[in-house]
Protein backbone atom coordinates (compact mmCIF):
# COMPACT_ATOMS: atom_id res chain seq x y z
CA UNK A 1 0.00 0.00 0.00
CA UNK A 2 1.37 3.40 -0.96
CA UNK A 3 2.52 5.81 1.73
CA UNK A 4 0.12 8.75 1.46
CA UNK A 5 2.33 10.86 3.71
CA UNK A 6 5.04 11.13 1.06
CA UNK A 7 4.88 14.24 -1.11
CA UNK A 8 3.83 13.72 -4.70
CA UNK A 9 6.39 14.10 -7.46
CA UNK A 10 6.22 17.57 -8.93
CA UNK A 11 4.61 19.00 -5.80
CA UNK A 12 5.43 22.68 -5.33
CA UNK A 13 7.78 23.64 -2.46
CA UNK A 14 5.10 25.27 -0.35
CA UNK A 15 2.82 22.19 -0.49
CA UNK A 16 5.81 19.95 0.25
CA UNK A 17 6.74 22.07 3.26
CA UNK A 18 3.12 22.06 4.44
CA UNK A 19 3.00 18.25 4.22
CA UNK A 20 6.21 17.97 6.21
CA UNK A 21 4.78 20.18 8.95
CA UNK A 22 1.52 18.27 8.95
CA UNK A 23 3.53 15.13 9.65
CA UNK A 24 5.03 16.87 12.67
CA UNK A 25 1.70 18.21 13.90
CA UNK A 26 -0.14 14.91 13.40
CA UNK A 27 2.46 12.90 15.31
CA UNK A 28 3.94 11.13 12.27
CA UNK A 29 7.32 12.76 12.94
CA UNK A 30 9.93 11.98 15.59
CA UNK A 31 9.61 15.54 16.92
CA UNK A 32 7.69 15.60 20.19
CA UNK A 33 4.83 18.16 20.10
CA UNK A 34 5.44 18.71 23.80
CA UNK A 35 8.90 20.03 22.96
CA UNK A 36 7.37 22.42 20.42
CA UNK A 37 5.06 23.64 23.17
CA UNK A 38 8.12 24.32 25.30
CA UNK A 39 9.63 26.29 22.43
CA UNK A 40 6.49 28.44 22.38
CA UNK A 41 6.77 29.10 26.10
CA UNK A 42 3.77 26.92 26.95
CA UNK A 43 3.55 24.34 29.74
CA UNK A 44 4.07 20.77 28.56
CA UNK A 45 0.56 19.59 29.37
CA UNK A 46 -2.09 18.14 27.02
CA UNK A 47 -4.19 21.32 26.89
CA UNK A 48 -1.21 23.54 26.07
CA UNK A 49 0.14 21.13 23.47
CA UNK A 50 -3.30 20.91 21.85
CA UNK A 51 -3.53 24.73 21.80
CA UNK A 52 -0.15 24.99 20.09
CA UNK A 53 -1.06 22.38 17.50
CA UNK A 54 -4.31 24.19 16.72
CA UNK A 55 -2.51 27.51 16.27
CA UNK A 56 0.17 26.08 13.99
CA UNK A 57 -2.35 24.07 12.00
CA UNK A 58 -4.35 27.27 11.58
CA UNK A 59 -1.25 28.94 10.15
CA UNK A 60 -0.92 26.06 7.70
CA UNK A 61 -4.58 26.20 6.68
CA UNK A 62 -4.14 29.90 5.97
CA UNK A 63 -1.56 28.91 3.40
CA UNK A 64 1.04 31.22 4.83
CA UNK A 65 -0.86 34.34 3.80
CA UNK A 66 1.54 37.21 3.23
CA UNK A 67 3.93 35.94 5.88
CA UNK A 68 2.66 38.54 8.35
CA UNK A 69 2.08 37.99 12.05
CA UNK A 70 -1.37 37.10 13.33
CA UNK A 71 -1.53 39.06 16.57
CA UNK A 72 -4.93 37.52 17.41
CA UNK A 73 -2.87 34.56 18.59
CA UNK A 74 -1.07 36.79 21.10
CA UNK A 75 -4.41 38.09 22.34
CA UNK A 76 -5.82 34.59 22.75
CA UNK A 77 -2.74 33.36 24.59
CA UNK A 78 -2.72 36.41 26.84
CA UNK A 79 -6.41 36.09 27.69
CA UNK A 80 -6.05 32.41 28.53
CA UNK A 81 -3.01 33.06 30.73
CA UNK A 82 -4.79 35.95 32.47
CA UNK A 83 -7.89 33.87 33.12
CA UNK A 84 -5.90 31.25 35.02
CA UNK A 85 -6.25 32.03 38.71
CA UNK A 86 -8.38 35.09 38.07
CA UNK A 87 -10.99 36.13 40.62
CA UNK A 88 -14.11 38.17 40.04
CA UNK A 89 -14.58 41.55 41.69
CA UNK A 90 -17.01 41.48 44.59
CA UNK A 91 -19.65 44.20 44.99
CA UNK A 92 -17.88 45.32 48.18
CA UNK A 93 -14.53 45.70 46.37
CA UNK A 94 -16.19 47.62 43.57
CA UNK A 95 -17.86 50.03 45.98
CA UNK A 96 -14.61 50.57 47.92
CA UNK A 97 -12.55 51.29 44.79
CA UNK A 98 -15.17 53.59 43.28
CA UNK A 99 -15.11 55.54 46.55
CA UNK A 100 -11.28 55.56 46.43
CA UNK A 101 -11.38 57.09 42.94
CA UNK A 102 -13.84 59.75 44.15
CA UNK A 103 -11.61 60.73 47.07
CA UNK A 104 -8.49 60.65 44.86
CA UNK A 105 -10.05 63.07 42.37
CA UNK A 106 -10.89 65.55 45.14
CA UNK A 107 -7.42 65.37 46.69
CA UNK A 108 -5.69 65.76 43.32
CA UNK A 109 -7.70 68.89 42.57
CA UNK A 110 -5.96 70.53 45.52
CA UNK A 111 -2.42 69.92 44.24
CA UNK A 112 -2.47 69.96 40.41
CA UNK A 113 -3.71 72.40 37.79
CA UNK A 114 -4.59 69.62 35.36
CA UNK A 115 -8.18 69.12 34.22
CA UNK A 116 -10.29 66.23 35.44
CA UNK A 117 -11.02 63.22 33.25
CA UNK A 118 -14.27 63.20 31.29
CA UNK A 119 -14.35 59.37 31.14
CA UNK A 120 -15.15 57.36 34.26
CA UNK A 121 -12.29 55.26 35.68
CA UNK A 122 -12.64 51.52 35.11
CA UNK A 123 -12.22 48.47 37.32
CA UNK A 124 -10.73 45.73 35.15
CA UNK A 125 -10.21 42.01 35.41
CA UNK A 126 -6.84 40.68 34.32
CA UNK A 127 -8.39 39.39 31.09
CA UNK A 128 -9.96 42.78 30.34
CA UNK A 129 -6.57 44.44 30.92
CA UNK A 130 -4.95 42.07 28.40
CA UNK A 131 -7.69 42.75 25.85
CA UNK A 132 -7.41 46.52 26.26
CA UNK A 133 -3.60 46.69 26.14
CA UNK A 134 -2.64 44.01 23.61
CA UNK A 135 -2.93 46.35 20.57
CA UNK A 136 -0.16 48.53 22.00
CA UNK A 137 2.03 45.59 23.07
CA UNK A 138 1.71 44.18 19.55
CA UNK A 139 2.63 47.54 18.05
CA UNK A 140 5.75 47.77 20.22
CA UNK A 141 6.80 44.17 19.53
CA UNK A 142 6.04 43.99 15.79
CA UNK A 143 9.35 45.42 14.48
CA UNK A 144 11.37 42.90 16.49
CA UNK A 145 8.99 40.03 15.72
CA UNK A 146 9.18 40.72 11.99
CA UNK A 147 12.95 41.05 12.07
CA UNK A 148 13.41 37.79 13.97
CA UNK A 149 10.95 35.92 11.76
CA UNK A 150 12.55 37.17 8.52
CA UNK A 151 16.09 36.51 9.74
CA UNK A 152 15.19 33.06 11.00
CA UNK A 153 13.58 32.16 7.67
CA UNK A 154 16.60 33.37 5.73
CA UNK A 155 19.17 31.62 7.92
CA UNK A 156 17.31 28.31 8.08
CA UNK A 157 16.91 28.33 4.29
CA UNK A 158 20.64 28.95 3.83
CA UNK A 159 21.72 26.39 6.44
CA UNK A 160 19.29 23.63 5.40
CA UNK A 161 20.57 20.41 3.78
CA UNK A 162 20.87 20.71 0.01
CA UNK A 163 17.86 18.47 -0.63
CA UNK A 164 15.62 20.78 1.47
CA UNK A 165 16.86 24.17 0.28
CA UNK A 166 14.53 24.40 -2.69
CA UNK A 167 11.52 23.45 -0.63
CA UNK A 168 12.31 25.94 2.15
CA UNK A 169 13.07 28.77 -0.28
CA UNK A 170 9.73 28.21 -2.00
CA UNK A 171 7.84 28.17 1.30
CA UNK A 172 9.38 31.29 2.81
CA UNK A 173 6.04 33.02 3.45
CA UNK A 174 4.73 30.03 5.34
CA UNK A 175 7.93 29.82 7.37
CA UNK A 176 7.60 33.50 8.28
CA UNK A 177 4.00 32.93 9.28
CA UNK A 178 4.94 30.01 11.53
CA UNK A 179 7.88 31.91 13.03
CA UNK A 180 5.58 34.87 13.67
CA UNK A 181 3.06 32.55 15.29
CA UNK A 182 5.64 31.29 17.77
CA UNK A 183 6.71 34.86 18.57
CA UNK A 184 3.10 36.01 18.99
CA UNK A 185 2.45 33.14 21.38
CA UNK A 186 5.51 34.17 23.38
CA UNK A 187 4.25 37.75 23.58
CA UNK A 188 0.80 36.56 24.63
CA UNK A 189 2.30 34.52 27.46
CA UNK A 190 4.34 37.52 28.65
CA UNK A 191 1.40 39.96 28.58
CA UNK A 192 -0.85 37.38 30.24
CA UNK A 193 1.65 37.01 33.07
CA UNK A 194 2.06 40.78 33.25
CA UNK A 195 -1.68 41.08 33.92
CA UNK A 196 -1.10 39.41 37.28
CA UNK A 197 1.67 41.86 38.23
CA UNK A 198 0.26 45.31 37.40
CA UNK A 199 -2.19 47.14 39.64
CA UNK A 200 -3.30 49.87 37.24
CA UNK A 201 -3.24 51.23 33.70
CA UNK A 202 -0.25 53.49 34.34
CA UNK A 203 1.73 51.00 36.42
CA UNK A 204 4.21 50.28 33.63
CA UNK A 205 4.88 53.96 32.96
CA UNK A 206 3.88 54.04 29.31
CA UNK A 207 0.28 55.05 28.47
CA UNK A 208 -1.32 51.69 27.66
CA UNK A 209 -4.83 53.14 27.27
CA UNK A 210 -6.15 56.23 25.52
CA UNK A 211 -5.47 59.59 27.11
CA UNK A 212 -8.81 59.64 28.96
CA UNK A 213 -8.78 56.25 30.65
CA UNK A 214 -7.77 55.38 34.21
CA UNK A 215 -8.14 51.84 35.55
CA UNK A 216 -7.37 49.65 38.54
CA UNK A 217 -7.27 45.84 38.71
CA UNK A 218 -9.10 44.97 41.95
CA UNK A 219 -7.59 41.49 42.34
CA UNK A 220 -4.05 42.83 41.99
CA UNK A 221 -4.73 45.81 44.24
CA UNK A 222 -5.84 43.39 46.95
CA UNK A 223 -2.72 41.26 46.48
CA UNK A 224 -0.52 44.38 46.54
CA UNK A 225 -1.99 45.34 49.93
CA UNK A 226 -1.47 41.93 51.50
CA UNK A 227 1.33 41.87 54.05
CA UNK A 228 1.78 45.67 54.11
CA UNK A 229 0.23 46.08 57.56
CA UNK A 230 -1.64 49.08 56.13
CA UNK A 231 -5.44 49.44 56.13
CA UNK A 232 -6.77 48.42 52.71
CA UNK A 233 -8.75 51.62 52.22
CA UNK A 234 -5.51 53.63 52.44
CA UNK A 235 -3.85 51.36 49.86
CA UNK A 236 -6.83 51.77 47.53
CA UNK A 237 -6.87 55.57 47.81
CA UNK A 238 -3.10 55.85 47.32
CA UNK A 239 -3.12 53.69 44.17
CA UNK A 240 -6.20 55.53 42.85
CA UNK A 241 -4.40 58.87 43.28
CA UNK A 242 -1.37 57.59 41.33
CA UNK A 243 -3.52 56.22 38.54
CA UNK A 244 -5.66 59.35 38.19
CA UNK A 245 -2.56 61.57 38.21
CA UNK A 246 -1.03 59.52 35.40
CA UNK A 247 -4.21 59.51 33.29
CA UNK A 248 -4.92 63.21 33.85
CA UNK A 249 -1.41 64.17 32.80
CA UNK A 250 -1.80 62.40 29.45
CA UNK A 251 -5.20 64.01 28.91
CA UNK A 252 -3.77 67.44 29.73
CA UNK A 253 -0.73 67.05 27.47
CA UNK A 254 -2.42 65.56 24.42
CA UNK A 255 0.86 65.48 22.49
CA UNK A 256 2.54 63.34 25.15
CA UNK A 257 1.13 59.88 24.40
CA UNK A 258 1.83 60.05 20.67
CA UNK A 259 5.29 61.46 21.37
CA UNK A 260 6.14 58.63 23.75
CA UNK A 261 4.71 55.80 21.62
CA UNK A 262 6.45 57.17 18.52
CA UNK A 263 9.76 57.27 20.40
CA UNK A 264 9.35 53.64 21.47
CA UNK A 265 8.40 52.37 18.00
CA UNK A 266 11.24 54.31 16.36
CA UNK A 267 13.65 52.70 18.80
CA UNK A 268 12.18 49.25 18.09
CA UNK A 269 12.44 49.75 14.32
CA UNK A 270 16.16 50.37 14.77
CA UNK A 271 16.70 46.95 16.37
CA UNK A 272 18.49 44.46 14.13
CA UNK A 273 18.98 40.74 14.65
CA UNK A 274 22.36 39.11 15.17
CA UNK A 275 22.35 36.78 12.16
CA UNK A 276 25.70 35.25 13.15
CA UNK A 277 24.09 34.03 16.37
CA UNK A 278 21.16 32.67 14.36
CA UNK A 279 23.54 30.96 11.93
CA UNK A 280 25.37 29.19 14.74
CA UNK A 281 22.02 28.06 16.14
CA UNK A 282 20.91 26.80 12.74
CA UNK A 283 24.14 24.89 12.13
CA UNK A 284 23.69 22.84 15.28
CA UNK A 285 19.88 22.94 15.41
CA UNK A 286 18.35 19.77 16.79
CA UNK A 287 14.66 19.54 15.83
CA UNK A 288 14.07 17.32 18.86
CA UNK A 289 15.27 20.17 21.11
CA UNK A 290 13.55 23.37 19.93
CA UNK A 291 13.90 24.78 23.45
CA UNK A 292 17.34 26.13 22.44
CA UNK A 293 15.75 28.31 19.76
CA UNK A 294 13.09 29.54 22.16
CA UNK A 295 15.73 30.48 24.75
CA UNK A 296 17.57 32.52 22.13
CA UNK A 297 14.36 34.39 21.28
CA UNK A 298 13.49 35.30 24.87
CA UNK A 299 16.90 35.87 26.49
CA UNK A 300 17.83 38.76 24.22
CA UNK A 301 20.90 37.08 22.73
CA UNK A 302 19.60 37.58 19.17
CA UNK A 303 19.51 41.36 19.68
CA UNK A 304 23.02 42.84 19.34
CA UNK A 305 24.33 45.74 21.44
CA UNK A 306 22.62 49.07 20.81
CA UNK A 307 24.09 51.49 18.27
CA UNK A 308 25.05 55.04 19.19
CA UNK A 309 21.87 56.31 17.53
CA UNK A 310 19.78 53.85 19.52
CA UNK A 311 21.52 54.79 22.76
CA UNK A 312 20.73 58.46 22.08
CA UNK A 313 17.09 57.60 21.32
CA UNK A 314 16.93 55.46 24.46
CA UNK A 315 18.31 58.31 26.56
CA UNK A 316 15.57 60.63 25.27
CA UNK A 317 12.91 58.01 25.94
CA UNK A 318 14.20 57.28 29.44
CA UNK A 319 14.22 61.01 30.21
CA UNK A 320 10.57 61.27 29.12
CA UNK A 321 9.56 58.21 31.15
CA UNK A 322 11.42 59.58 34.18
CA UNK A 323 9.75 63.00 33.83
CA UNK A 324 6.29 61.41 33.76
CA UNK A 325 6.94 59.04 36.66
CA UNK A 326 8.74 61.69 38.69
CA UNK A 327 5.84 64.15 38.31
CA UNK A 328 3.34 61.45 39.30
CA UNK A 329 5.45 60.63 42.36
CA UNK A 330 5.62 64.23 43.54
CA UNK A 331 1.93 65.03 43.11
CA UNK A 332 0.91 61.70 44.66
CA UNK A 333 3.00 62.32 47.78
CA UNK A 334 1.45 65.78 48.14
CA UNK A 335 -2.11 64.61 47.47
CA UNK A 336 -1.89 61.70 49.92
CA UNK A 337 -0.25 63.64 52.76
CA UNK A 338 -3.36 63.11 54.91
CA UNK A 339 -3.10 59.32 54.70
CA UNK A 340 -1.44 58.12 57.96
CA UNK A 341 0.48 55.28 56.22
CA UNK A 342 1.21 56.98 52.88
CA UNK A 343 4.99 56.79 53.45
CA UNK A 344 4.88 53.00 53.87
CA UNK A 345 2.85 52.57 50.68
CA UNK A 346 5.16 54.94 48.82
CA UNK A 347 8.23 52.94 49.84
CA UNK A 348 6.60 49.71 48.67
CA UNK A 349 5.77 51.30 45.31
CA UNK A 350 9.38 52.46 44.91
CA UNK A 351 10.85 49.04 45.75
CA UNK A 352 8.41 47.30 43.45
CA UNK A 353 9.15 49.67 40.59
CA UNK A 354 12.92 49.41 41.05
CA UNK A 355 12.91 45.63 40.78
CA UNK A 356 10.11 45.15 38.25
CA UNK A 357 8.29 41.87 37.82
CA UNK A 358 9.33 38.71 35.95
CA UNK A 359 6.94 39.36 33.07
CA UNK A 360 8.26 42.89 32.62
CA UNK A 361 11.80 41.54 32.49
CA UNK A 362 10.66 38.96 29.93
CA UNK A 363 9.22 41.74 27.74
CA UNK A 364 12.47 43.69 28.02
CA UNK A 365 14.51 40.75 26.71
CA UNK A 366 11.92 39.76 24.11
CA UNK A 367 11.72 43.23 22.56
CA UNK A 368 15.06 44.68 23.67
CA UNK A 369 13.51 47.59 25.57
CA UNK A 370 13.63 48.21 29.33
CA UNK A 371 10.63 50.32 30.38
CA UNK A 372 11.80 51.26 33.87
CA UNK A 373 13.35 54.77 33.86
CA UNK A 374 16.81 54.85 35.40
CA UNK A 375 16.65 58.54 36.33
CA UNK A 376 13.41 58.52 38.25
CA UNK A 377 14.99 59.67 41.51
CA UNK A 378 16.59 62.70 39.80
CA UNK A 379 13.33 63.55 38.01
CA UNK A 380 11.30 63.44 41.22
CA UNK A 381 13.88 65.65 42.98
CA UNK A 382 13.73 68.15 40.08
CA UNK A 383 9.91 68.33 40.12
CA UNK A 384 9.95 68.84 43.88
CA UNK A 385 12.51 71.66 43.57
CA UNK A 386 10.36 73.32 40.89
CA UNK A 387 7.23 72.94 43.05
CA UNK A 388 8.95 74.48 46.05
CA UNK A 389 10.26 77.40 43.99
CA UNK A 390 7.35 78.44 41.75
CA UNK A 391 4.32 76.43 42.87
CA UNK A 392 2.07 73.79 41.38
CA UNK A 393 0.57 75.82 38.54
CA UNK A 394 3.92 76.91 37.06
CA UNK A 395 5.22 73.36 37.47
CA UNK A 396 2.30 71.84 35.61
CA UNK A 397 2.54 74.53 32.93
CA UNK A 398 5.79 72.94 31.76
CA UNK A 399 3.72 70.10 30.23
CA UNK A 400 2.04 72.47 27.78
CA UNK A 401 4.49 71.79 24.94
CA UNK A 402 7.49 69.49 24.36
CA UNK A 403 9.73 72.50 23.67
CA UNK A 404 9.39 73.81 27.23
CA UNK A 405 9.52 70.46 29.02
CA UNK A 406 12.60 69.93 31.22
CA UNK A 407 15.47 68.09 29.57
CA UNK A 408 18.10 65.60 30.63
CA UNK A 409 20.37 68.57 31.40
CA UNK A 410 17.72 69.90 33.79
CA UNK A 411 17.79 66.58 35.63
CA UNK A 412 21.56 67.03 35.99
CA UNK A 413 21.22 70.62 37.21
CA UNK A 414 17.69 71.41 38.44
CA UNK A 415 18.84 74.67 40.03
CA UNK A 416 19.44 76.21 36.60
CA UNK A 417 15.85 75.35 35.64
CA UNK A 418 14.58 76.74 38.93
CA UNK A 419 16.51 79.99 38.34
CA UNK A 420 14.95 80.42 34.89
CA UNK A 421 11.44 79.74 36.17
CA UNK A 422 11.89 82.03 39.16
CA UNK A 423 13.07 84.88 36.93
CA UNK A 424 10.09 84.39 34.64
CA UNK A 425 7.69 84.34 37.60
CA UNK A 426 9.13 87.67 38.80
CA UNK A 427 8.84 89.21 35.33
CA UNK A 428 12.61 89.52 35.02
CA UNK A 429 14.66 88.84 31.91
CA UNK A 430 15.24 85.10 31.64
CA UNK A 431 18.50 83.65 32.91
CA UNK A 432 20.39 82.43 29.82
CA UNK A 433 22.59 79.38 29.68
CA UNK A 434 25.89 79.47 27.79
CA UNK A 435 24.36 78.52 24.42
CA UNK A 436 21.51 81.02 24.69
CA UNK A 437 23.90 83.74 25.88
CA UNK A 438 26.21 83.13 22.90
CA UNK A 439 23.22 83.36 20.54
CA UNK A 440 22.06 86.55 22.23
CA UNK A 441 25.54 88.09 21.84
CA UNK A 442 25.65 87.09 18.18
CA UNK A 443 22.27 88.65 17.46
CA UNK A 444 23.30 91.82 19.30
CA UNK A 445 26.48 92.10 17.20
CA UNK A 446 24.46 91.69 14.01
CA UNK A 447 21.99 94.35 15.10
CA UNK A 448 23.74 97.50 16.48
CA UNK A 449 20.37 99.09 17.27
CA UNK A 450 19.46 96.24 19.60
CA UNK A 451 19.61 97.59 23.19
CA UNK A 452 22.29 96.20 25.43
CA UNK A 453 21.52 94.98 28.91
CA UNK A 454 22.54 97.37 31.66
Instruction: State the pLDDT confidence band at 120, using cuts at 50, 70 and 90.
Output: very high
Query: For the chain, what percent of residues have pLDDT higher than 90?
Result: 41
Cα separation, 252 vs 113, whole angstroms: 9
What single DSSP character describes residue 201?
Answer: T
Tell me which residue of 383, 348, 81, 361 sits closest to 204, measured CA to CA: 361
Contact present, 79 and 209 (Cβ < 8 Å): no
Instruction: State the average pLDDT for the chain.
Output: 78
What string of H, E and C letters represents the secondary structure of 76-101? HHHHHHHHCCCCCCCHHHHHHHHHHH
pLDDT tens readout for residues 36-67: 555 555 566 666 656 655 665 565 555 444 55
For 277-287, how does the pLDDT look when each residue is reduced to its tens digit (9 = 90+)? 666 665 655 55
Per-residue pLDDT band at 430 (split at 50, 70, 90): low
Indicate whether 260 pLDDT > 90: no
Q: How many residues does the chain have?
A: 454
Q: Return d(Cα 267, Cα 401) in angstroms, integer.
A: 22
H helix intervals, 299-357 = 308-335, 342-355
Q: How confident is the model over 302-324, as pLDDT tens digits?
A: 676 777 877 787 888 889 999 99
Please state, in angstroms and rounded to a whole number, the distance separating the CA atoms of residues 187 and 174.
Answer: 20
Min mean pLDDT across 231-235, 337-341, 432-436 is at 432-436
pLDDT at 8: 46
Predicted confidence band at 368 (pLDDT cuts at 50, 70, 90)? confident
Q: Which residue has the higher pLDDT, 297 or 188?
A: 188
Question: Sign of the C-alpha dihedral, residues 128, 129, 132, 133?
Answer: negative
Q: What percent of the chain clears pLDDT 70, i.e. is strictly above it?
A: 65
- The yes-or-no verdict on residue 276 having pLDDT over 60 is yes
Q: What pLDDT band is residue 23 in, cutting at 50, 70 and 90? A: low
Strand locations in 132-277 (E)? 215-216
Q: What is the pLDDT of residue 338?
A: 95
> Which residue has better confidence, 6 or 293?
293
pLDDT band at 381 (very low <50, low <70, confident <90, very high): very high
Q: How confident is the model at residue 161 (pLDDT cuts 50, 70, 90)?
A: low
pLDDT band at 9 (very low <50, low <70, confident <90, very high): very low
pLDDT at 433: 56
Amino acid sequence: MADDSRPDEGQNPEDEFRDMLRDILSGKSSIDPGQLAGAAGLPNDPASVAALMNQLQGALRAGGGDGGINWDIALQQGQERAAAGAQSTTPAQRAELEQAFHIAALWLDDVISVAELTVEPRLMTRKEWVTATMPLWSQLAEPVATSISDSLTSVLSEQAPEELKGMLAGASQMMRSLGGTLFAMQLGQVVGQLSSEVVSGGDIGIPLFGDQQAALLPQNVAEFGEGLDVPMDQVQIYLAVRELAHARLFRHSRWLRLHMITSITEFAHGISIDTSRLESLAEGFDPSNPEELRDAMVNGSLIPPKTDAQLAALDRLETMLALVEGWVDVVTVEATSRLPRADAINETVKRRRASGGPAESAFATLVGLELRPRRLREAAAMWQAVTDAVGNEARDGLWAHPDILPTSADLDDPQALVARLTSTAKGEAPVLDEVDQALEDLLRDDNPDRPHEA
